[in-house]
Amino acid sequence: MGTFGDFVKSQSKEVDIIKQDIAVFKNLIKERKQPLDLVRELISNAGAREVGATKIEVSYTKDKEGHIFEVSDDGCGMNFTGSQELPGRLDRFLGLGLSAIVGQKSDEFAWKGLGSKLAYQSRRVEISTRFTGHPLYEVRINEPWSTLDRNLMPKPRITEHKDVDEPQGTRVKVFGHPPHRQEEPFTFDEIRTFLMHRTFAGFTRERANPPVVVLSVLGHEESLPFGFPEFAGVQWPRGFALDEDRQALFVDIAAQDSKIGNVRLKGFLTWDADGFGLVKSRLNTGLMLSSKGIPYFSLDMEEYGARGIPHANPGVGKVCLMVESDGIHTEMNISRSDLVDSAESLSFKKHVGELMEMVESSPEYLRFRQIPKSRKTIKSGESLAKEKATIEADDQNWVIFQKEGSQPVVLVREPQNEAEVNALLWKLEALGALPFTRFQTLAYPGASSGPDLLVNFQEDNKSEAMRAAAIEIENNFYTYKPHGHHSSQYPKVICWAIPSSGRKVHLAATQKKFKFTIALDDYQVHVFVLSLMDGIYVRSRKQLRDSGIDV
């Protein structure tokens, strides 16, 4: 069997790649969570310090072959040696088994050759790369996944171009990844969100001279700001910093472990999720893991020791915390979406739990928990002051009852809601001022599924005397709402007013100026309007004062 050494540099030729067991290789690939994991790994390859890229371009489109991803950079490019003992970058990328895991030197973020492995789960892979001082290599791999699925090894076809004036750098284009996915294309926002919160583009630390990252999705192109966006501009405290104005607690604490080194917890908790742009779908809530500066996935906060924070204090949706640990990098599973079961992982979990305990027992966190209560008290005071100012204003209207030949009685301000209509109704009942033969309140259930009032009621001497009649109360009457019951059970409505516009039912007038009817299919509803009853007037505070009446 030939190797890269069989490659004839003056022509294009298929070559056999250095491999490990095909079945193991296929299972490793299938552990990936979603197609965008490929982009994460290719960006990690391009962003490594050893590559030295100043610009990384990510593009995505979709056609009949499926999802098409392309990542290019202006870094050092990939050299080719054809040697298993001293493989070049291109040898390692194409070799399914070559990586640091089997003793080969790797770049800053390289890990088990995952980027190239994921690329093989596709219909076609095209690579163009040039290492400084070396030829331009173009590689084409047709149907790599179909070939692996038949337990055969893919055959890369490599073409060398000598003496070309091509700048250094690498372009990897993957067609139909994965071949079985044909759903709707990703949107720009979906890919941007993933890049900024789950890849090198969302780097969680300071980084000198980071590359420019450009994203193009279905023809729409933007340059992305480098770094985890929710951490932009944060001045990290040494410990804890409570910002009551922004309703946020900022955290930056660390622990040391002999096995996995430094474990750092940083981020913030807030009562104002909207103000910080925290939304679960944006991949920026809860507790997340970052290794070597790259955010990878979320961790279960309760499993990692948090008690009150995940629930209502303030809840996962109002938390953006990042655990940074370079030492845990080797304990990720192949898809980097979780941690393997190991002594190092248990040690990491223990230290994260200790850090969460430090947060929840800190004086700053205890004060942070009181912010909603304090703000509610302040808001309640402001609301009360505003309500008092309104009710004391000269233009505040009041409902007056006056019998002929008697002094006027101030009842209540002009109703603003259903509860104030009830207050007015009961005052009129107590004064005997309602124009009914009998009106005796028995109960105020006030439930959304039941009547507002139960009343012993007789409209006039010619009407039927009703015991425990159901009465609906409304402020301004616009439509009939029987609350899910048959209209025959709720045939009477008492309201304050019937506005001339906005009504959704026709009101028929009767001989009584305060009474109207609504004709339904099988029943007639009676509507009684308090503001139209005899002796009821509305006057402003100023008008009352001018009349010598003090409220």
Is 140 within 8 Å of 156 (Cβ atoms)?
yes
pLDDT of residue 35: 82
The sheet carrying 239-243 orders its strands as 239-243, 248-257, 261-270, 319-324, 286-291, 294-299
- Give domain limits for the chain: 4-227, 230-371, 397-537
Query: CATH homologous superfamily of domain 4-227?
Result: Histidine kinase-like ATPase, C-terminal domain (3.30.565.10)
Residue whose entry in the numeric block shows the structure tokens 């994260």: 352
CA distance linking residue 475 with residue 111, whole number of Å: 68
CA distances for 191 relative to 35, 201, 337, 372, angstroms: 11, 11, 17, 35
CB 14 within 8 A of CB 142: no
Does domain 230-371 bear CATH number 3.30.70? no
- DSSP for residue 403: -
CA distance 21 to 108: 26
Residue 222 token pair? 């933007």
| Three-state SS letters, 186-198 | CCHHHHHHHHHHH
Average pLDDT per consecutive 10 residues, the chain (551 residues; last block may be shorter): 40 53 66 82 91 95 92 91 78 66 61 74 92 89 88 86 85 91 89 96 94 96 96 93 94 86 95 94 96 93 93 94 91 74 90 95 94 74 79 92 89 93 95 95 76 91 91 87 54 90 85 91 87 95 90 84
C-alpha dihedral sign at 546, 548, 549, 551: positive
Measured in degrees and rounded to the nearest 5, phi and psi for residue 423 equal -60, -45
* pLDDT at res. 101: 40
- Antiparallel, parallel or unpaired: β 286-291 and 261-270: unpaired
From first CA to last CA, the distance across the chain in angstroms is: 104
DSSP 349: H
**Helix or strand (DSSP H, E) at 159:** strand 157-161
Dist CA 288 CA 281 (whole Å) = 14
Please give the C-alpha separations between residue 238 and each of 255, 306, 408, in angstroms, as whole numbers: 13, 21, 69
Could you tell me if 282 and 197 are in contact, meaning their C-beta atoms sit under 8 angstroms apart?
Answer: yes
How far apart CA 315 and CA 368 sit, in angstroms, is 13
Q: What are phi and psi of 22, to 5 degrees?
A: -65, -45
Q: Are 130 and 77 in contact (CB under 8 A)?
A: yes
Q: Are 317 and 269 in contact (CB under 8 A)?
A: no
CA distance 440 to 423: 14
DSSP string, 44-92: HHHHSTTT--SEEEEEEEEETTEEEEEEEE-SS-------SSS--HHHH
Q: What single letter denotes the amino acid at residue 13?
A: K
Q: How far apart are CA 384 and CA 374, in angstroms?
A: 15
Distance CA 201, CA 199 (A): 5
Kindly report whether the global pTM for this prediction surpasses the value 0.75: no
Please tell me the distance from the alpha carbon of residue 472 to that of residue 460, in angstroms, as a whole number. Answer: 19
What angle (nearest 5°) sits at the alpha carbon of residue 281, between those of residues 278 and 286? 55
36 Cβ partners below 8 Å, 6+ apart?
186, 191, 194, 198
Tell me phi and psi for residue 222, to 5 degrees.
Answer: -150, 150
Q: In what order do the strands lie in the sheet with 220-224?
A: 13-14, 157-161, 136-142, 124-130, 169-175, 66-73, 55-63, 212-217, 220-224
Distance CA 79, CA 88 (A): 5
Same CATH fold assignment for domains 4-227 and 230-371: no
Backbone angles phi, psi at 369, to 5 degrees: -65, -25
Alpha helices (H) in 85-208, listed in sequence order: 89-94, 114-119, 144-149, 188-198
Q: Annotate 281-290 with b (16+ C-beta within 10 A) or e (fewer).
A: ebbbbbbbbb
